[in-house]
Structure 1
Amino acid sequence: MTAPDVTIAARPRGLQLSRYLLRRMLQAVPVLLLVSLGVFVLLEMAEGDAVDAYLAGIGGADAAFADELRERYGLNEGLGGRFLTYATRLATFDLGHSFAFSRSVGAVILERLPNTVMMMVSAILLSAALGTVLGGLAALRRGRPADTVISVTALVLNATPGFWLGLLGIILFAVKLRWLPVGGLSTYGADLGPVGSVLDIARHLVLPVFTLALTYLALYVRLMRGAMIDAGESGWVAAARARGVPSRRIALRHMARPAMLPVVTMIGLQAGTLLGGSVVIESVFAIPGLGALSYEAVSQRDMPLLAGILLAGTVLVVVVNIVIDLIYGLLDPRVELDGTS
């Protein structure tokens, strides 16, 4: 992915914005097609199929039963036939049937998707907020002890594996202090009511969200610090100081606001790590999300499910980057999303 496509002009309005959104949706079509083709090719290159994985899980069966299953799900066709069936289903928005869960792929993904999105979005926004504040403080205290402490702490967190931070958090806050649950997404069997259930889920998400946020923190600290230092050395900041503009206003309006642009860009780029980052954390904290679902799909060679997960992740990345482009126009009035093709 690249930084948002922008031109210097007035803000997008009306028809121009509609044309921009239509253009971005059309650009997403070949991306989805390439992802679908890539998933199909990779899984076809691997040994065995979903029937082999299913039979291994139930302790085996005779060849007639295996042939019947392959006939039922179209796995006994040639390579071209299997791809044609797969492509036809995608064209009709049918993601197929999951062998591992004996349910439609769409239903399984919709069941797990909110958990991953809730955790990952919270973690990225939290890390971006903390990194922006700490990076701005380090830039304003450049060369002082506060700058050194913030920079060193961020680098240490960046060098620490996420699963290790997660395990450390479990030992300290769940086992020793017993402030937070060890894992899962909710208290099993508890009847807490609507409000109580929301608070219970939030309590279970504290450790995984903070673990992810700390692993991403260093990136935002360094981005914000460097961008604010560059903005502070620019001509418009020198002109503002010469006019007697208060230091606080200079820091917030003339330095922090333009420095937010690379931070927002990085939020969009990190949307691509949604699945990759969630696999480890969901495994450590036993959260039923897309990351854990991806592992199950791969281990059981459930091609329709794995393809559906990757397509859902691709759609999420496209949507997030469109939103990031729109936020650019809010942060800088000179920036307009190019609505032309």
Structure 2
Amino acid sequence: MGVYIVKRILHAIPILIGITILTFLIMQLAPGNPMQTMINPKISMEEMERAQASLGFDQSKIVQYFNWLKEILQGNLGYTIKTGQSVSDLILERLPATLTLTGSAFIMAFVIGVPLGVFSATHRYKLPDYVLTVFAFIGISIPSFFFGLGLIFIFALKLGWFPTSGMASIGANLTGFALFIDHLKHIILPAVVLSLPTVAVVMRFTRSSLLEVLNQDFVRTADSKGLSRKVVIVKHALRNALIPVITIFGLSIPFLFGGAYITEHIFNWPGMGSMGIQAIVGREYPVIMALNLFTSILVLLGNLLADVLYAWADPRIRYN
């Protein structure tokens, strides 16, 4: 397994290089220029040209790419166009908030989705199964911005159970358990919004995979031995039904980070998603490219994690 992981990491290197090329080309094809956001009637064309030269915009696209790639290999993701802040520092500053939100949504998605899928499969073609199927279709179809605004209107504005936005209460000098409760109240609504599509997908995959496994011979053999239905489902059937779910497990990591853009913007969550929205509006190309690269690395790591979990779920899978 260790050799396989090392090989996968080595294979990921040319993929990452290809991703950097695509990311750079997409940014170059985007309309406009970061300097256009800095246009001021008091600034002469000579000053604008000097500013562009200082940022390297006067060089060829190939030279700009290799300069950017060289800085990335040195651990420097660049600097913002307007303020000159380090992009690496900005990401590290916003990363804990995003990890808190996406981690909570990730745990919620599988803790809720897998049991609901099992329950739906064991009550096939009954009322609970139909109700959960409708819930899954709604969860997959409903736009996150609409769902988020609806939760804010009902549970924050009307009922007053949760705050409308932010990560903590402004001006509240809380410590210890009171601070934990305050953070918990702030994270529940955005975590629910972010996790809902993944909950629905995990539930449907678990249901369909478990139904297929329940019809196999080894499950009938376990039933014929007199084992309880719970033991047959949890110990024998569910583990063999986890392979498709593990695929969702790996791919949901970058999906949640991507979904965090809209969710964090709606709930004013101080994470990487809201920073990405601001970067897109402000044409902060270094920030956008750094976030794209970060998400791409998450996709590769998610795929690697899924492959490792395949071997854990099914002992017949071996990597050479």
What TM-score does the superposition give when structure 1 sets the normalisation length?
0.87
Pairing 1:203-222 to 2, within 5 Å after superposition:
203-222=185-204
- Checking the alignment, whether the CA contact within 8 Å between 2:265 and 2:277 is kept in structure 1 is no
Is the Cα–Cα contact under 8 Å of residues 102 and 257 in structure 2 kept in the other structure? Answer: no
- The secondary structure found in structure 1 opposite 2:57 is coil
**8 Å contact kept, 2:198–2:252:** no
1:188 aligns with 2:160: no
Equivalent residue in structure 1 for 2:105, among 123, 141, 166:
123
What does residue range 270-309 of structure 1 map to in structure 2 within 5 Å?
Answer: 270-309=252-291
**Matches of 2:117 and 2:292 in 1, distance apart?**
34
Give CA deviations for 1:30-74 in whole Å, capped at 9, x if unaligned: 222122111211121233322222x14x67622122122112221
Is the 1:170–1:182 Cα contact (8 Å) retained in structure 2? yes
Q: Does 1:51 align with 2:49?
A: no
Whether 2:89 is the aligned partner of 1:107: answer: yes
CA contact (8 A) 1:261 1:331 kept: yes
| 3-state SS of paired residue (2:167) | coil
Q: What is the CA distance between 1:108 and its match in structure 2?
A: 0.7
Paired amino acid for 2:121: A
CA RMSD of the aligned region, Å? Answer: 1.9
Pick which of 143-152 and 58-67 moved more: 58-67
Q: Please list, as runs of the form range in 1=range in 2, the aligned pairs for 1:14-163 lying within 5 A after superposition.
A: 17-53=1-37, 55-56=38-39, 61-163=43-145
Deviations 1:96-152 (A, max 9, x none): 111144211111111112222221232132122211111111111112222112212
2: CA distance, partners of 1:84 / 1:314: 19
TM-score when normalising by structure 2: 0.93
Amino acid in the other structure paired with 2:252: Q
Distance 2:301 2:99 in 1: 13
How many residues align? The count is 320
Q: C-alpha distance in 1, partners of 2:282/2:188? A: 31
| Cα distance, 1:101–1:325 mapped onto 2, change above 3 Å | farther
Answer whether contact 1:127 1:220 (CA < 8 A) is retained. yes
State the one-letter code of the partner of 1:239. T
Partners of 2:75 and 2:45 in 1: CA distance: 33
Answer 1 or 2: higher relative contact order, Cα 8 Å, separation at least 6.
1
Q: Could you tell me how far apart the structure 2 residues matched to 1:227 and 1:84 are?
A: 46
State the alpha-carbon separation in 2 of the partners of residues 80 and 157 from structure 1: 44
One-letter amino acid of the structure 2 residue matched with residue 222 of structure 1: R
Q: Which amino acid aligns with 2:184?
A: A
With 75-84 and 34-43 compared, the bigger mean Cα shift is at 75-84
Q: Distance in 2 between matches of 1:260 and 1:122?
A: 21
Q: Structure 2 vs 1, CA of residues 251 and 272 (structure 1 numbering), >3 Å: closer, same or farther?
A: same
User: Could you list the runs of 4 or more consecutive aligned residues of structure 1 that deviate by over 3 angstroms after TM superposition?
Assistant: 194-199
- The separation in 2 between residues aligned to 1:108 and 1:145, in whole angstroms, is 50
2:150 matched to which residue of 1? 168
Aligned residue type for 1:247: R
- Alpha-carbon shift at residue 329 of structure 1 (Å): 2.8
Deviation at residue 306 of structure 1 after TM alignment: 1.3
Q: Secondary structure of 1:97's match?
A: coil
My pick for the range that moved more, 192-201 or 208-217, is 192-201
- Alignment counterpart, residue 256 of structure 1, candidates 231, 238, 253: 238
Cα-to-partner distance string for 1:160-187 (whole Å, 9 max, x where unaligned)? 2211111111011111111111011122
Aligned residues of 2:254 and 2:302 also touching (Cα < 8 A): no
CA apart distance, 1:215: 2.6
SS at match of 2:241: helix
Which amino acid is the alignment partner of residue 187 of structure 2? Answer: L
Give structure 2 stretches of 5+ with no counterpart.
Answer: none
1:293-316 Cα shifts (integer Å, max 9, x gaps)? 222222222222111111111222
After superposition, the Cα gap between the structure-2 partners of 1:142 and 1:47, relative to the gap in structure 1 and judged at 3 Å, is: closer
Q: % of aligned pairs identical?
A: 27
Separation (CA, whole Å) in 1 of partners of 2:41 and 2:144? 36
Stretches of structure 1 that go unaligned for 5 or more consecutive residues are 1-16
